[in-house]
Structure formats: structure tokens, C-alpha cells
Amino acid sequence: MSDTPIQRWWTIVSALEPTHPARTALRAYSLAFTLSLGPALVKTLSSSIRAKGRRVDVAPLVQLLAKELRHDGFAFAVATAAAGGPALSSLWNRFANSKQNFSIRQRFATLLALPDSLKKRLEGFDLPQEHQLVLFNAVAAAVGFNFLQAGGKRSLREKGRQPSYPSPTLDFTLLLVVRAMDSVVQSFIQKLSSPSITLSKTNGNGVNHAQNGTSRHTSKDSKASTVTKTLHKAGSHVATQVDAFVFWVCTSRIMWCFFYDPHRLPRSYVKWIATLAHLDSRLIRTLQLIKSNDWSYIAGSPKNLGLLQEYAVELGLPASWGNPELVPAYGGAAATAVWQQLGVKSRPGVGGIPCELVHGKLGAKLGCPTRSCHVNATLRIYQGLIQALAIYLPVHFIPTLLTRPSSLLQLGVISRLAAGALRSSAFLSSFIALYYYAVCCTRTLVLARLFPSISHQIWDGPYGGMFVGSLVCGSSIWIENGKRRSEMALYVLPRALRTLLPRKLSAKWLPLASLFEGGAFVVSMAVLLHAAAEQPDSLRGLSRWTLSFVTKGFDALGEKREPPEHKP
């Protein structure tokens, strides 16, 4: 029985080297296709589970599948950018080393009918091997970026929208830019602490005196090795602290934008934060109205009077608790008298809406009192821990499952991975609880009580409790493992950078913005691919794992990182 075309094709591909451009393209395409189609597939499966016999709508999944299988789909564009460089380099070497009478450069010059002076320069042009792949990677990245842009514009046209800013590819470009910058920084740090530099500094002028013999040479080597290890350890410690600081700064900006300028963040990211925070949209809208002075404790809010009143009724509380015309704007004895009339017992001496509205439905669902800020923070930790475990258990176990599945039979490995997942979950749950608790400390427990003469238009405004919460929540990163701090920092940095870019651009600036983004995409992709081939130790976390898989395959994922060899 003869093999099918697919079987014959697979036999040919399997016989190739893992680093062959065809296999690199196949791995890049498969990974990108999975990442693009995965969320839609999960959404479809979850809807089918909830349907309980009703018909499930798979049309969005089919549409996404058809979109991704096109030449301008995400998977094909990424495969082109990742494998196009090695493919072009292989073709160049094949033609450049041809034994025919005319080289490829001569034929190219003749075909274009170039002037004689340019023909001679082109015929004598020889691209160095170390620069060749970098150049071809940049060319392939440019082609891949054009595919991404074409796919994004086509999607906008199908939705009846015109190309606008930010572009559909901006988030992916920022991700590449941040990862490339990190690779450059890590490469620089490694050069500073390399054994050769350390040895040179230790030896002074680098001259070994013959009269001291081998013993002195060995002593210097040992001293240099000790200094290198010390510098490496100190550098790693400083790096983790810098990563934690970057995460703290980025999350402060992100969380503030989540409440007051969510359009600066990706929609999916805003939805993810809202899911974890369990905040009612009406409460968020009220905060935005306070910022614009359209909801005021002092002047009232006729147009939005029922916004929080409806929310209060849903929580089983009197509607008056959400009425800005009745709620006291300032603290002190006057506020206590108002609260007695409204039946609020949890805010003596403090103004502003009761914290029961801020805490939301969580306490009522779990049968716990909603008035206590301390209880609310505890419940947020509990709920966040359950949610975070569902996120971090796969994050910690899947890489080991893919690279070293047999090690999961060892109790020590399982314990280590479970402890890592629990620690990461504690970080995320603390992030959520710290935000809530910082808000409560600002507007109820501490600051508002110390300064009752300050209006709650300030305490509940953009630079009051929400600002303090944004500053405090990111400090939970110090709970996380040092190595994972870097990945968390690299995860939030592109999103924080996005909030600093203009929200909109006029039509005349769109071509320039597209050109600038394309340049950033091309340079970043070229840097990352060069690092994967020449300096894999300069890559960290997800970028190291992804590029190792794309360029070398599954076998590279299980490789252990060896320390730099010490050469005297």
C-alpha cells in the first residue's frame, strides 16, 4: 500500500536537520497558529459546556480558522519572519558558491542593466557570513510585518472600519521591542561580568612572571574565578530587584489607566483585569465621572444620579447610600450625623459612599459581613488565590510536561512545581487584595480620618484612593520568585509602554506611524533571531523558550544552561 502525499511529505520533513528552514517554518507556524486559534477554541468549548443541549455557535471559530489559514494570517506572517532569514541565507550561499561562469551578482547586475561603475561594485560585493543572516532576518521580518499589516487592514475593512491608530499589530510589535531590548541589556551585562574581563582586571597588566611559576598562575585563576562568581551572584540579585522595580512602575501606570483611561490598554487585557478584580462596571463608571466632575459629592450629579443607587439596591442596601446629594462630602461630626439618618454604622466621622458599595457582592456570596474592610481584603486574598491557581498551575507544569515528562513521576519535582505555583498564586492574590485594602485605608481607615476637612471628591478622585492603590498593589511582586520577576516585568512592560503612546493620530500621520512601527518590528525580530542563534543566554523566560523551540525544536527545550567556561 503506497503512502499518501501527506505521509511522503512528513517523511521528507522528518529527515531534515532540526535547524533546517523548512522545519523552523513548520514549528513557527504551528506555535503561532495554536496561540492565535487557542483562545477562540477555548471560548467555543466553554460555550458548548454551558449550552446543555442547545446549539453551539461555532461560526466565529470557523471564521477565525479561515482568516488564519490565509497568507496574511498571523501564523503565516510569523513563520515568514522566523524562517525566511535562514531560507534566504541558504539560497544566497547556494547561488554565491555556484561554479558557473557568472556569479549570481553578475547576473543580477546584467539583468538590471546597471551602469558599469555600479556593476563592478556589485560584482565585487561579498557579504560577510556573520552579517549575512542578520540582513536576511531583517528582510524576512519586513515581509512578515507587511503580511501582518495586510491582515489587520483586511479585518478592519470586513468590520466596516477604516485603518486607524493604534494599528492591529501594535501590541505584538511592542512585545518584540521589549524582548529585544532585554536581550541587548542582558548581553551587555554578561559581557561586563565575563571571565575574560574579570581575569584581565584581576591580573592587572596581564603578565605572568616566570619566577612565580605555575602556582602563581593558578592562584590568579582561582582568584578570578571567585571574583567572577561573586560578580555574577551580585549581578543576578541586582537584576531581580530591577525587574521588580520595573514591574511595580508598570503596574502602577496600568492600573491607573484601567480605571480612568482603559482605551490605552488592549481590550483583552482590560477584560482580564476586570474579571480578576470583580468590579462592577457602574462603580468604575462613577470613578471616571468623579474625575471629569460629572459626579460630585459637592455639586451633586443630576444626570447620573441613579448610577450607584441601582447598584446599591442590587447589593441589598438602601438606594440613598449611592446618592451623591445625600452622602456627606466631608468627614467629622457632621458626617456622623448624616450617617445616623441614612442608617450607616460603618463610617462614623468619614464621608464618601459607604465601603459596602466598594466591596461589592463578594462578602454576601460567601456569607461574610460586607462592611469590614479587613474582612474584604481577606476574602479577596482567598478568591484571588483560587483564581490564580487555575492560571499558574498550567504555567508551572506545562513546560516540564513538554520537555521532561518523565520527571513528573518524581515527588521532589512535583513538590517544587506545586510550591512555585502556590507562590505565584500568592503574588497575584496579594496584588488584588493590596489594591482593595489600600483604597480602604485611604478613604476610610486612615487618611480620610486624619484629614476630615479634605473632600471625598479628592479621596475618591483619580489622585486619592485609586492612585494609592495603583502605587501599592505592584509591591506584591517581591513575593514572587526572583527568576519569575523578570518574566512578569517583561509581560507588563509592553502594555505600560502602550499607555504612553498617543491614543489617536490624524490620517496624515498614519503612514509615518506605520513606517516607524515597521522599523521597530524588523529591528526587534532581527535582534531576537540573532540572539537565539549566537547568544541564547541573553534571552530570558518566555522569549528563550519560544525561540529555542522555533529555531532548534523540542530537543533544545530540555538543554541545561551551562555557566560560561573559564579560560585563563
List 296's β-bridge partners, or say none.
300
Phi first, then psi: what are they for 505, rounded to 5°? Answer: -135, 150
List 300's β-bridge partners, or say none.
296
Q: Quick check: 375 and 368 in contact, CB under 8 A?
A: yes
| Residue 309 buriedness (CB in 10 A; 0-12 / 13-18 / 19+) | buried
pLDDT (average), residues 346-354: 94
14 pLDDT more than 80: no
Rounded-to-integer distance, Cα 203 and Cα 230, Å:
17
200 pLDDT more than 70: no
- Quick one: pLDDT at residue 371? 81
471 pLDDT more than 60: yes
- Quick one: pLDDT at residue 320? 94
| Residue with the larger pLDDT of the pair 42 and 253 | 253
209 pLDDT more than 50: no
| Residue with the larger pLDDT of the pair 451 and 118 | 451
pLDDT (average), residues 293-304: 89
pTM: 0.85
DSSP result, 22-55: HHHHHHHHHHHHHHHHHHHHHHHHHHHHHHTTSP
- Quick one: pLDDT at residue 47? 66
Cell numbers 518590528 label which residue?
A: 521
pLDDT band at 437 (very low <50, low <70, confident <90, very high): very high
Residue type, 280: D
Q: Quick check: 293 and 332 in contact, CB under 8 A?
A: no
- Quick one: pLDDT at residue 530? 92
224 pLDDT more than 70: no
Average pLDDT value over all residues in the chain: 84
| 506-559 residue pLDDT tens | 888 989 999 999 999 999 999 999 999 889 999 998 899 899 999 988 666 555
| 42-75 residue pLDDT tens | 776 666 666 655 666 677 777 778 888 888 899 9
- List the Cα angle 317/313/376 in 5-degree steps: 50
Share of the chain above pLDDT 70, in %: 78
> For 4-8, 100-104, 337-341, 379-383, which range has the lowest pLDDT when averaged over its residues?
100-104
Query: Which residue blocks in 97-194 are alpha helix, DSSP H?
Result: 104-112, 116-123, 129-158, 170-192
